[in-house]
Amino acid sequence: MLQILYVQVKIYMVTVHVLTSVMLSTAYLCKQVACSLCSETMEREILAIHKGENCPQRIVTCEFCEFPLPAIDLAEHQEVCGNRTELCHLCSRYIRLRERYNHESRCTGIAENNVGSSRDVRETEREEGAPRRQRPDYSRRRILFTIAITGIAVLLGSLFFQKKADSIQVTESFS
């Protein structure tokens, strides 16, 4: 009987020791800690995941220029950086960096010279729609008059500023 009681006490002590260890390790892991990058508090066990994947202040690199910056600034940076262009050496066209990989996979290497204004329309659309705006009809006399007035204004301005500069030099020489 004494042996049974001894075994039961021993089992009880081991159980208490195991439970205490589990409680202490759980308390250690569940302790709230602050992220050193963003100061957000969280449980210790998820801190490493937070710093590697979720922290807005973790350092990431731009896919276009490989510049390191905080993750919170990445979207804004890549919006600007991805709009930069580089010359494709196969087709001699300027390609946005954000479109570079798609372009490289389908580039034939033939220079396409079909770049035009976004306002260009086909002739049939022009004929159906409103007529094209006519160039303003400026008379030769009106153009010459404008040039003469501009020349007189420049001449008067240069004389005025020359006199102003001379008066400044005169007052400095008296000082």
Q: What is the pLDDT of residue 158?
A: 84
* Domain annotation covers residue 19: no
Domain-embedded: residue 101: yes
41: β partners: 34
Tell me what the pLDDT averaged over the chain comes to.
77
Top mean-pLDDT range of 9-18, 80-89, 138-147, 162-171: 80-89
Is the residue at 83 inside a domain?
Answer: yes
Check: CB of residue 139 under 8 Å from CB of residue 147: no
**Most confident of the ranges 28-32, 38-42, 129-133:** 38-42
Q: Which pLDDT does position 82 carry in this prediction?
A: 93
How many angstroms separate the CA atoms of 114 and 139, rounded?
37
Task: Flag whether the pTM goes above 0.75.
Answer: no
pLDDT of the residue at 175: 56
The secondary structure of residue 50, as a DSSP letter, is I
Same domain (yes/no): 43, 81: no
Higher pLDDT pick, 111 / 133: 111
In a domain, 128, yes or no: no
| 115 inside domain | no
The domain in which residue 35 lies consists of: 30-56
- 5 has a pLDDT exceeding 90: no
Whether 130 maps to a domain, the answer reads no
Beta strand extents in 72-128 (DSSP E only): 85-87, 94-96
Query: What CATH number is attached to the domain comprising 97?
Result: 3.30.40
* 46 and 70, same domain (yes or no): no
Are 77 and 102 contained in the same domain? yes
Cα-to-chain-centroid distance, residue 89:
25
Give the tens place of pLDDT for each residue, 116-155: 444 444 454 445 555 555 555 667 788 888 888 988 988 8
DSSP character at residue 97: G
User: Do 82 and 49 belong together in one domain?
Assistant: no
The answer on 66 and 40 residing in a single domain is no
- Which element (helix H / strand E) includes 112? none
Counting the structural domains of the chain, the total is 2
Q: Say if 105 falls within a structural domain.
A: yes
Q: In the prediction, which pLDDT does 120 show?
A: 46
Residue 43 confidence class, pLDDT cut points 50, 70, 90? very high
In a domain, 25, yes or no: no
pLDDT, tens only, 94-105 = 999 999 889 988
Say yes or no: 43 and 68 in one domain: no
What is the pLDDT averaged over residues 63-69? 93
